[in-house]
Amino acid sequence: MNNEIIEQVKNVFNEVIEAAKLKQGSILVLGCSTSEINGSPMGTDSNLKLAELVYSAFYDDVRSRGIYLAVQCCEHLNRALVVEKELADRLMLEQVNVVPQPKAGGSSATTAYKLFASPVMVEHIKADAGIDIGGVLIGMHLKETAVPIKLKNKEIGKARVIAARTRPRFIGGVRAVYDENLL
């Protein structure tokens, strides 16, 4: 089952990165319930080993592409995010003081906090794309015009996966002309 999960994670991340046209400097928000991957109700079966397995499948690739990862905690930490200090400084995000744990923040955020070079916690971000593994509700951390990505790979373990990319808002009405490259 571990190899299957690794393959599913790789496929989802590659699909989203391609569909969202993420490039160096882009921000990808991740919400991930290891409980749901295991087939348990969210928040009932937090699993650090499973989170580490998930991250082993995508983290190095995302970093090597220069894509910033923002990892959402669960509602026990008000869906705060783990980000690299470099990103928080660049965006002038206000840091908050909390350290995620498996039962308060979740195993995914706990794993990110351990893996990141210089992790800090923030409350808000406006990401370019997002991956939601298990229905953890990441929409509040996406830029305003989110567009669903119709995934070919819709599950990781037993968790449903949904994803979105963002695009600039259309303004100007019927006489406006839009840049097709931004759609």
pLDDT tens profile 28-41 = 999 999 999 999 99
Looking at 14-18, 76-80, 131-135, 154-158, which range is the least confident one?
76-80
d(CA 103, CA 114): 15
Total domains, the chain: 1
Quick one: pLDDT at residue 118? Answer: 98
- Which residue from 136, 162, 160, 131 is spatially nearest to 33, judged by alpha carbons? 136
Quick one: pLDDT at residue 180? Answer: 87
The H-assigned helical ranges of the chain are 2-19, 34-37, 48-64, 85-91, 107-115
Q: What backbone phi and psi angles, to 5 degrees, belong to 86?
A: -55, -45
Task: Report the CATH number that the domain containing residue 171 is assigned in CATH.
Answer: 3.40.50.10360
CB 128 within 8 A of CB 29: no
Element (H, E) at 69: strand 68-72
Residues facing 127 on adjacent strands: 142
- Span 58-64, mean pLDDT? 97
Quick one: tokens of 170?
């259309």
Residues facing 22 on adjacent strands: none
Percent of the chain topping pLDDT 90: 86
Quick one: pLDDT at residue 167? Answer: 95
- Domain of residue 162, residue span: 2-182
- Span 80-100, mean pLDDT? 97
SS (H, E, C) 3-35: HHHHHHHHHHHHHHHHHCCCCCCCEEEEEECHH
Reported pTM = 0.93
d(CA 84, CA 89): 9
Quick one: pLDDT at residue 175? Answer: 82
Quick one: tokens of 62?
């995302």
Digit-coded pLDDT (tens) for 123-179: 999 999 999 999 999 999 999 999 999 999 999 999 999 999 999 988 887 788 888
CB 11 within 8 A of CB 45: no
